[in-house]
Amino acid sequence: MPSREMAPNSEIHPESIRVEDKVYSAKKLADLHPGGPLFIKAFSGRDASQAFLTYHRRQFPHQRVKEAFESTDETVTYSTDDHADFIDLCERIEKVLPRNKSFAPWHYYVKVAFIMGSVFSLEAYMHYTKSYNWQLFAVMGWFYALIGLNIQHDANHGAISRNPVINRVLGASQNWIGGSAIAWIHQHVVQHHIHTNDVHLDPDIAGSIYIRLNPLKPLLKYHVVQHIYFFFLLALYGFSIVIQSLENVVSGAHHTPMSPLLKPHRVFETFMWSLFFLRWVITPVYQTGTFLTLLHSLPMYMVGGYYLAFFFSISHNFKGVHILEDTTRPSNKESSFLYKQVVSSSNVGGPFLCFMNGGLNYQIEHHLFPRISHTHYPKIAPTVKAFCLEKNIPYVHFPTIGENIRSCTQHLWDMGSNETPKNATIQAAKTLLVN
């Protein structure tokens, strides 16, 4: 049977979802999904074949969801051999960490209680005593980063619990820190995770006019020093999260339009954003009687945003990273989902950093198995690394943060100095660069 091949102009109805060559009603499938309806709704109007594989570590159970079936997409052919390597890896991971033991252990909830308890206590203290000084705001920013890395990230990937209600409640911690859980799922889960470092489809590689991460973007003169000012610009990321979250929720888009089935959720997201604005703009100004108080709040956004952006940035931008273009046809190893996820990510450090940063230092394992709680990444990493070495798939793990920073700096310099980067592997995009 031929490999899965998607017709370039193949379209999916906004309220349908395609898995392999089968098209389903997204609404009906959402009602049948034991992991809750949110993810199905988020992928409505899209192909969710790879998403199901990476989240469930098995082939899609078409026979169990017949009542949601709509049609067979004749523009798509599919073979189970397309993801044979990934299924093989899943079987090896199953021996190390069975699926029913992949969620968060009891001690993870202790960490959640400590982080959230500290945040609520500190916020109550600041409001009650009117102690809006920059030092406390800086501490708050650090705790907000811990929420982003350790709580909302796992929760909005469905990795904390088998119970979708627990994931949804803890996922709303993203709204508490000024972001949007729904916008994050659309940007991060639906786009970035499925199309990591794709020059067209990954919003995280889009960069900006000041930062060139995408080799298809114009090379401007000042990019030659982007490896220097990049690490200073990260301090603005916290402000960007708050502003863009509202923009994305109101517009219903980020890089691409959100699923229409998410529209009811966006109303709640707007309310939660308004609550954040009330807590950290209206209340401090009202309590102190001066807008100058807002200057003291700047470290909260700068510290929290910097910590979050720093570790995400270095994990996908390093010397030798693969920059990809979706070929839509996994006909060989270099275009398979497994291969693309591994070569576009890197790891750094070990178990301690995993505990502090919610496992985001094990970026390779996270991108392959986003529904596994980050507490288990140190356990499965040796198996993933051994498998990649066996299959001759580049597996990059930096022993220290310093080495990772140096590699990231070299990559940024390369991207800012050369029209066609020399130290990055650009797959399937080379012809576009020439043109």
* Segment 227-245 mean pLDDT: 95
Residues 7 and 126 in one domain: no
Q: Do 171 and 46 reside in the same domain of the chain?
A: no
- Residue ending a domain, among 62, 78, 94, is 78
Which of residues 78, 107, 122 is at a domain's end?
78
Do 158 and 17 lie in a common domain? no
Q: How far apart are CA 202 and CA 190, in angstroms?
A: 10
Q: Looking at residue 20, which CATH number applies to its domain?
A: 3.10.120.10
Same-domain pairing of 325 and 400: yes
pLDDT of res. 208: 85
User: Which residues contact residue 320 at a Cβ distance below 8 angstroms, ignoring those fewer than 6 apart?
Assistant: 394, 396, 407, 423, 424, 425
User: Domain span at residue 37?
Assistant: 1-78
* Residues 206 and 279 both lie in one domain: yes
Number of structural domains in the chain: 2
Q: Are residues 405 and 381 in the same domain?
A: yes
Co-location of 311 and 409 in the same domain: yes
Q: Do both 306 and 193 map to the same domain? A: yes
- pTM for the full predicted model: 0.93
* 73-77, 201-205, 227-231, range with the lowest pLDDT: 73-77
Percent of the residues in the chain that have a pLDDT greater than 70, as a whole number: 93
Q: Same structural domain for residues 58 and 133?
A: no
Long-range contacts of 64-69, Cβ-Cβ distance < 8 Å, separation of 24 or more: 64/32, 65/24, 65/29, 65/32, 67/28, 67/32, 68/24, 68/25, 68/28, 68/29, 68/32, 69/22, 69/23, 69/24
pLDDT in tens, 281-333: 999 999 999 999 999 999 999 999 999 999 999 999 999 999 987 644 444 55
Least confident of 79-83, 137-141, 211-215: 79-83
Does 258 share its domain with 301?
A: yes
Which residue, of 41, 57, 78, is where some domain finishes? 78
- Residues 140 and 177 placed together within one structural domain of the fold: yes
d(CA 424, CA 197): 11
Asked if residue 79 lies in contact with residue 329, where contact means CB atoms within 8 angstroms, the answer is no
